[in-house]
């Protein structure tokens, strides 16, 4: 009985739940060389992941546009890769792997941490929206009414099927007094549109246009564009050459724009990280990156994984940016509000 009493009160034994016991076990674990030797493979993968994210611009496009493919889904490398590596490190009980996982986590936060906060502001002079409505949209009228309900002063639509254009025109007529359709893209506005023309993006048919919107706060050049689609093929890789050629042509047109205030609305079939869109992205900035909340992914609508629909500006200040509810399209519509300074 005395021996049992001493054990229960700690006189002749140790309570595994006492702080001192936990500290001793921690010391023993840290002294176990196995936790430093185990998990070398997950640790190496963590370092590799960090390097891929940090040096993504150096990944060549010569083979299957691998660099552009990586940059298209760059945020997901960390979102998926870091938790998986963390689980592997814990399963292996590896201190080396746990420390190594910090590297890609820190790189990801450095690249995308700024998008996690809400930078939405108030005020502004002009609300704009853009939507790839999908040529096979089963409810074009409902889609038109949904995007018009966003309160946009200027609305761009892409992938307009010729037979569906009258449906969109009728559904939007009560909200927008002015509009123009050029090929498969269109622009609807509450304010007058002048100097409207198609923009040649080297496709042989019209998928881009330009117009001057005479807004109350001043004139602004608005471009609407739908870049060619890209595909990921096992043999060819990321097939984006036609899109890249069109992006270069669009960039040249915007560079030659005489008005200082420019807005680009459309489906670029690429993200702001994709170096192949540099002809456009180098001279404009994304409203989502400047004043949005989160990543603002727009495609596919069922489970958005990338922001390939863009609202970009030059010579004016974005105030807020957001994604609109799903319509009958495979893309989500997006909107932004911008502030004009009165200069054109």
Q: State residue 7's pLDDT score.
A: 46
DSSP of 202-270: SSSS--EEEEEEEETTEEEEEEEEEPPP-EEETTTEEE-HHHHHHHHHHHHHHHT-SSS-EEEEEE-SS
Q: State residue 6's pLDDT score.
A: 45
Q: What is the pLDDT of residues 17-70, one digit of tens each?
A: 565 565 555 455 555 667 888 899 999 999 999 999 999 999 998 887 889 989
**Whether residues 60 and 89 fall in one domain:** yes
Q: Is 12 part of any domain?
A: no
Mean pLDDT confidence for 261-274: 96
Q: State residue 25's pLDDT score.
A: 57
**Whether residues 284 and 256 fall in one domain:** yes
Q: Compute φ and ψ for 218, nearest 5 degrees.
A: 135, 170
Q: How far is CA 263 from CA 24, 41, 101, 129, 314, in A?
A: 63, 48, 40, 11, 7
Q: State residue 62's pLDDT score.
A: 82
Tally of residues, the chain: 344
**Whether residues 132 and 93 fall in one domain:** no
Domain boundary residue, one of 80, 115, 150 = 115
3-state secondary structure of 114: helix
Mean pLDDT of the chain: 90
- What gap in Å lies between CA 230 and CA 270, rounded to an integer? 8
Q: Is 78 part of any domain?
A: yes
Q: Is 71 part of any domain?
A: yes
Q: What is the pLDDT of residues 238-258, one digit of tens each?
A: 668 899 999 999 999 999 999
Using the predicted structure, report yes or no on whether residue 232 has a pLDDT greater than 70. Answer: no
Using the predicted structure, report yes or no on whether residue 236 has a pLDDT greater than 60. Answer: no
CATH of the domain at 198: 3.60.10.10
Global pTM reads 0.86
Q: State residue 22's pLDDT score.
A: 59
Domain boundary residue, one of 85, 115, 145 = 115
Q: What is the pLDDT of residues 294-340, one digit of tens each?
A: 999 999 999 999 999 999 999 999 999 999 999 999 999 999 999 99
**Whether residues 143 and 274 fall in one domain:** yes
220: β partners = 213
Mean pLDDT confidence for 85-109: 95
**Whether residues 158 and 300 fall in one domain:** yes
**Whether residues 78 and 197 fall in one domain:** no
* pLDDT bracket for residue 198 (50, 70, 90): very high
**Whether residues 291 and 159 fall in one domain:** yes
Site of tokens 């609508």: 301
Domain boundary residue, one of 55, 83, 115 = 115
**Whether residues 130 and 64 fall in one domain:** no
Give the domain extent around 102. 32-115
Q: Most distant CA pair in the chain: distance in Å?
A: 101
**Whether residues 109 and 140 fall in one domain:** no
Q: Is the dihedral of CA 296, 298, 302, 303 positive or negative?
A: negative
**Whether residues 168 and 102 fall in one domain:** no
Helix axes 40-54, 95-112, angle to 10 degrees: 10
Number of domains in the chain: 2
3-state secondary structure of 273: coil
**Whether residues 144 and 45 fall in one domain:** no
């Amino acid at each position: 009985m005395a021996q049992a009493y001493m054990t229960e009160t700690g006189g002749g034994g140790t309570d595994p739940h006492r702080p001192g016991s936990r500290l001793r076990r921690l010391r023993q674990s840290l002294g176990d060389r196995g936790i430093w030797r185990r998990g070398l493979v997950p640790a190496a993968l963590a370092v590799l992941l960090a390097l891929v994210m940090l040096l993504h611009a150096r990944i060549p496009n010569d083979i299957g546009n691998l660099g552009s493919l990586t940059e298209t889904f760059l945020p997901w490398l960390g979102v998926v890769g870091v938790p998986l590596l963390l689980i592997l490190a814990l399963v292996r009980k590896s201190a080396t792997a746990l420390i190594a996982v910090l590297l890609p986590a820190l790189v990801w936060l450095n690249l995308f941490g700024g998008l996690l906060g809400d930078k939405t502001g108030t005020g502004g002079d002009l609300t704009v929206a853009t939507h790839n409505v999908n040529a096979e949209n089963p409810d074009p009228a409902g889609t038109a009414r949904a995007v018009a309900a966003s309160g946009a002063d200027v609305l761009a639509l892409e992938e307009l099927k010729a037979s569906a254009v009258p449906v969109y025109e009728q559904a939007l007529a009560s909200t927008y007094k002015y509009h123009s359709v050029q090929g498969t893209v269109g622009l609807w506005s509450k304010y007058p549109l002048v100097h409207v023309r198609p923009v040649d993006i080297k496709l042989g048919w019209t998928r881009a246009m330009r117009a001057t919107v005479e807004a109350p706060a001043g004139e602004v050049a608005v471009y609407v564009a739908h870049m060619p689609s890209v595909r990921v093929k096992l043999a060819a890789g990321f097939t984006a050459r036609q899109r890249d050629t069109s992006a270069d042509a669009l960039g040249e047109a915007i560079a030659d724009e005489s008005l200082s205030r420019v807005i680009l609305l459309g489906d670029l079939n690429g993200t702001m990280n994709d170096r192949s869109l540099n002809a456009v992205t180098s001279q404009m900035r994304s409203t989502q990156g400047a004043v949005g909340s989160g990543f603002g992914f727009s495609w596919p609508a069922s489970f958005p994984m990338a922001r390939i629909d863009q609202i970009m500006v030059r010579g004016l200040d974005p105030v807020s940016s957001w994604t609109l509810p799903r319509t009958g399209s495979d893309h989500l519509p997006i909107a932004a509000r911008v502030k004009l300074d009165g200069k054109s």
